[in-house]
Amino acid sequence: MNENSLEVVTAIQAITMASSLCQKVQKDLVAEVTLTKSDRSPVTIADYGSQAIICKLIKDIFPYDTIVAEEDSKELTIPGHSRILEKVTYYVNESIPNSSPEEVCAWIDSGSHSLADRFWALDPIDGTKGFLRGGQYAIALALIERGVVRLGLLACPNLYRDIHQTESEKGCLFFALRGKGSFQMDMKGGDRRVLSGLKVEDPSELFFTESYESNHSDHLFQQRIAQKLNITKPPLRMDSQAKYGIVARGEAVLYIRIPAPSEPGYRENIWDHAAGSIVAEEAGGRVTDALGHLLAFSSGIKMEKNYGIVVTNGISHDLVLKALGFSD
């Protein structure tokens, strides 16, 4: 597979169309005074719309490919939810004119939770809480073959091109191909730049990143690990797989995700890590669980055998695993 392969061209087209739907929904609904933080309807509309578009575009070109995606249309077909389905259809129509509600549901349902030898993993909106807060979210799409992520795309519409410069442009499309590198582009797929992480051995004085939500990972424990590594800067907290992108860009040397004490048995979903992991790895990074095991993308939608996630620039990985103390 190379950058001109049909898989790559289709995936870029699908993810850019889905991103513009998400951006429109966010813009329209932020303008609506009725939007409250607890109102999940905008994220629902964007989730379904994004999944419908990406599944349709992939299935048009690769009808026999399996797509493992987070959503299904069950909720949308409940009579009381017809308004939501109407809205999803309205937004999908802006990209795919004349699509009917039935077609939109069928496209959503062309995603499933059953894995295959080769399959696409899709999170139509990763970081739903960030989406609602106007913070970070990502549309994440990966192609996995026999357990290996071959291609990953992460669209981050709210991420600055340079995290420390808020006057820089917003909107990043990360793209990685196994063996061919990791790149950042603008949201239309232009202005491509090669990513190579940050090649330092000693992570002290550098930034680490973690979830914004305190119940998605153990902030206190992670803070202690950062201290052990002599990282003195406060954590860069953000939602979604954008965190993988900033490690790939070298703005953070480390992303740690240890289950929070409120949910110690939490196991990660494959669509929450497949695209991000290849973006970091192809930039020279390393991605394992907290015990140093590779992430298992082919055993089910949950990575049952993996505990936590550790992403580094590569060089400092063993040091971080040692500081965590889960492996022998």
**Choices 10-18, 103-111, 148-156, 207-215; region in contact with ligand AMP by CB under 6 A:** 207-215
- Interaction between residue 281 and ligand AMP (CB under 6 A): no
Q: Does 218 bind ligand AMP (CB under 6 A)?
A: no
- Considering only 89-97, 139-147, 163-171, 258-266, which stretch makes contact with ligand AMP by CB under 6 A? 258-266
CA-based nearest residue to 76, from 35, 48, 34, 111 = 48
Q: Choose the catalytic residue: 44, 89, 128, 312.
A: 128
Minimal distance in Å, beta carbon 75 to ligand AMP? 17
Residue with smaller CB distance to Mg ion, 71 or 123? 123
Residue with smaller CB distance to ligand AMP, 177 or 256? 256
Asked whether position 239 contacts Mg ion by CB under 5 A, the answer is no
CB 109 within 8 A of CB 294: no
Residue 272 is a binding residue for Mg ion (CB under 5 A):
yes
What CA–CA distance (Å, rounded) separates 106 from 109?
5
In the list 7, 123, 282, 289, the residue contacting Mg ion (rule: CB under 5 A) is 123
Q: Can 47 be counted among the known catalytic residues?
A: yes
Q: Which stretch binds ligand AMP (CB under 6 A): 16-24, 155-163, 212-220, 299-307?
A: 212-220
In 3-state terms, what secondary structure has residue 76? helix
Contact 166, 22 (CB under 8 A): no
For residue 27, how many other CB atoms are within 10 A of its CB? 9
Compute CA distances 246 → 85, 139, 170, 214, 252, whole Å.
Answer: 35, 15, 14, 20, 6
128 is annotated as an active-site residue = yes
Asked if 213 interacts with ligand AMP (CB under 6 A), we say: yes
Shortest reach from residue 247's CB to Mg ion, in Å = 17
**CB of 106 closer than 8 Å to CB of 76:** no
Q: Which residues pair with residue 141 across a beta bridge?
A: 122, 153
Number of CB atoms found within 10 A of residue 70's CB: 21
- Closest contact distance (angstroms) between CB of 37 and Mg ion is 18
Residue 188 makes CB contacts below 8 A (sequence gap 6+) with 16
Q: Which does 239 bind (CB under 5 to 8 A by kind): ligand AMP, Mg ion, none?
A: ligand AMP
Where in 233-297 does DSSP place strands (E)? 236-237, 254-257, 286-288
Is residue 214 at the binding interface for ligand AMP, with CB under 6 A as the rule?
no
Q: Which of 82, 215, 227, 232 forms a contact with ligand AMP (CB under 6 A)?
A: 215
Contact 93, 101 (CB under 8 A): no
Out of 240, 277, 312, 313, the only residue in the binding site for ligand AMP (CB under 6 A) is 240
Residues lying near ligand AMP in the complex (CB under 6 A) are found at 126-127, 130, 211, 213, 215-216, 239-240, 259-260, 263, 266, 269, 272
Please give the positions annotated as active site: 47, 128
